[in-house]
Amino acid sequence: MGKKKDLDIYPSIMCCKPWDFEAYVHAFEKTGVAGIHFDVMDGHYVPNIMLGAEDFKAIRALTSLPIDVHIMATEPERFVSYFDVRRGDSLSFHPEVSLQPYRLLESLRAAGVSAGLALSPGVPVCYLEECLDVLDFVMVMAVNPGFAGQKMVPDHLAKLRRIKTIVSRADHPIGIVVDGNTIPSNARLMHQAGATGFVVGTSSIIQGGPDAFAEKYRDYQAQIARVE
């Protein structure tokens, strides 16, 4: 996660209409995205309920692309086993609601899964300092988790810069992936602040249906690169 290319793009399957899943997955494969972002919400940690085990199985049956699972749930340890994450996949969870975040990161890495901590707005970055040795990436929420279509919180860019400083102390590369309101104008600033990848959804490039995805994907990459 965050180490395959200069910019890793993870389209969110949650933002696709269920009847378009197969067509979107084929579009993702053709464009060479880094993986498919898969949101899990428990209705407790976040005020929404989203994508379950059967949805995961359906996506897995359609493609060999890596799946990037983001567990927005209290006690994420209880949810991991519901999803057949495999070597090459990635999984992030929120450390402030985990019983043993370090242990969970260790177990993911032992299974060949890229292990990540997800930080919501207001959650301190100090969690990262305690887990650098077993951390592969950080999923930084630019919005309050739970719903698509929100606006970036005001202090997000400053938080990204602090995260970049912290992860640079590790003895291995740690990706910084942003989730939430990653429209091109925001993504340019996020990239400059340290982001190495983006989750994209309805506010960025999942619009216009599967047939339009490839063109939107290329344009998205180009718009970010123009300011580098």
- Exposure of 63 by Cβ count < 10 A (0-12 exposed, 13-18 middle, 19+ buried)? middle
Measured CA to CA, the distance from residue 131 to residue 177 in angstroms comes to 17
Cα separation, 162 vs 26, in Å, equals: 37
Q: Which helix (H) or strand (E) holds 178?
A: strand 175-179
Instruction: Spot the catalytic one: 39, 42, 55, 68.
Output: 39
d(CA 23, CA 7): 24
- Choice among 8, 42, 68, 179 that is catalytic: 179
Place of tokens 């990706």: 175
| Structure-block tokens of residue 212 | 């339009």
- The residue type found at 31 is T
Cβ(163)–Cβ(194) under 8 Å? yes
- In angstroms, what CA-CA distances link 108 with 78, 113, 126, 172? 14, 5, 21, 17
- CA–CA distance, 42 with 72 (Å, rounded to integer): 7
Please say if 39 is a catalytic residue: yes
Give the containing element (helix H, strand E) for 216. Answer: helix 213-225
What are the residue numbers of the active site?
39, 179
